A and B are shown apart, each in its own frame.
Chain A
Amino acid sequence: MYVSNCSTSLRAQTNKTRAVYSLIIINKAGGLVYQREFHSGLHKLSTNDYLVLAGTFHGVHAITRSITPRLPLASTTTNPTTASHSTTASLSLTSPSGTTTPTASTPTASNNPNNPAANTPSSSAYSYPIPSVPASGLEFLETDKFRLTCFQTQTGTKFLLFTDPFMANIDVVMKKIYELYADFVMKNPFYQLEMPVRCEAFDRHLGSWLRGRI
């Protein structure tokens, strides 16, 4: 999903095409566990603002995942009684862990072109635009000053990477950061899950690897 022309609070002074500006790691509950800048000249936010940013992004990400268009399958010809049953079922299904109230109403809005009877498909009666790819939520956010790449792991941890908009091979950088996280954070006996990352070896390897790339 692409969202463009957003207002930006981060402004880089130089435009290196391979620059990684900063990294944010958000745990599965939406809490900020890691924040680090790799580039000079970035506007600094207060610690509280970073926490708010992480929590806000977590919510936006959940919303973008739930508004992924769902294409109703052709075989959904339901009689009124089952349709009324499936209404309650779909409402409970489309609110994942009760995060936000709009999540229950947005799928119906996106399905408006159909007639109202087929408006509420049962849980197995729709597919995503690309059936093999599950709904992932926001992945890129581009402005003319920076590009935000979000990578969500299988366990719900989110890696946010702020880079130059013209930088290539961001997925390689993301994969390496994930690998370093898996090595130096998850294998550290002194790291408590879901808590802020304070692992000196992770900082060291991350810094030296990114410095080696530029």
Chain B
Amino acid sequence: MAHPRHGSMLSFGGGPNDTATAEKPPFQNAPVPTASQSSPGLRVPSNRKTIYDRHLNRSRNAELSRASFAFLFSEMVTYAQRRVTGIQDLERRLNEQGYPLGLRLLDLLFYRTIAGSSSSSSSASALSTSSSTTSSPPNRPLRILPLLHLIHGPLWRLLFNRPADALEHSVSPDTPNEYMITDNDPMVNTYISVPREMSMLNCAAFVAGIIEGVCDGCGFEAKVSAHNQPSEMWPGRTVFLLRFGESVMEREKVLEKAGVK
């Protein structure tokens, strides 16, 4: 699978009902082109405005067609289905397809969230360290809860144009390292009907892979999996289960004593 070169390519959105929105020209909002002197061809559009000429923060009109993503993702699932031994193997492959995306997406996510907060509050410097004295959010999450809020809010908005629906901690005392993020209607599963004999499969394992990449990129070793949990109102409800590793839990205790937020 060829990964998108740029994280902003993944910010697909679209109207809630309009499934056949016309695809916007991808380069219509590019700023004045810089000196890209290569000859026009398939890689360089005729107006010389490549994806590298766009500002990283220009995300408002960077939406992609939902239909074209649906076809792309459908092909990704079909590709992952080749030579798999079972449902778990298929989910692992989808997870592996999402993982590098999460790693790459993280930098863009930080860049955008920090730039956004510095523009809103003038006192907070974009270079402020992660001390708890300043009012600005730290550059990157150090504890589990800020990381989960980063995934639940900014990451979900970057990917799907809306925050996730729920964030929970495992109630069982045996598994304090388990957290759950719920999406009532995952965008990737909108058009997918899983056959009855594969009812355990959830193709949002791809999104679970993205989350895993984000966690690993932040220095939180974790395993993330997607599980079906349909309800009467939301037949496609999906729970992403995050299991943090032992080292993360140990560090969490140390940081708690040190008072780091």
Contacts and interface: CB of A to CB of B under 8 A. Distances in A.
A184 B191 contact: yes
A201 interface: yes
B19 A179 contact: yes
Interface stretch (A29-37, A80-88, A186-194): A186-194
Classify chain B's interface size: 20 to 34
Contacts, number: 44
A168 to B, nearest CB: 23
A183 B193 contact: no
A166 interface: no
A194 to B, nearest CB: 16
Contacts of B81: 189
Contacts of A184: 191, 193
A188 B191 contact: yes
A136 to B, nearest CB: 24
Contacts of A179: 19-20
Contacts of A189: 73-75, 77-78, 81, 192, 203
Contacts of A198: 193, 195-196
Contacts of A191: 193
B74 A188 contact: yes
A190 B20 contact: no
Nearest to B81: A189
Nearest to B194: A190
B193 A202 contact: yes
Interface in A118-151: none
Interface string A170-186: 00000000010011100
B190 to A, nearest CB: 8
B111 interface: no
Nearest to B79: A189
Contacts of A1: none
Contacts of A202: 193
Contact of B195 (A182, A183, A190, A204): A190
A183 B66 CA distance: 11
A184 B198 CA distance: 18
A199 B19 contact: no
A184 B195 CA distance: 13
B70 interface: yes
A200 interface: yes
The 6 closest A-B pairs by CB, nearest first: A187-B191, A189-B77, A199-B193, A189-B74, A187-B70, A201-B193
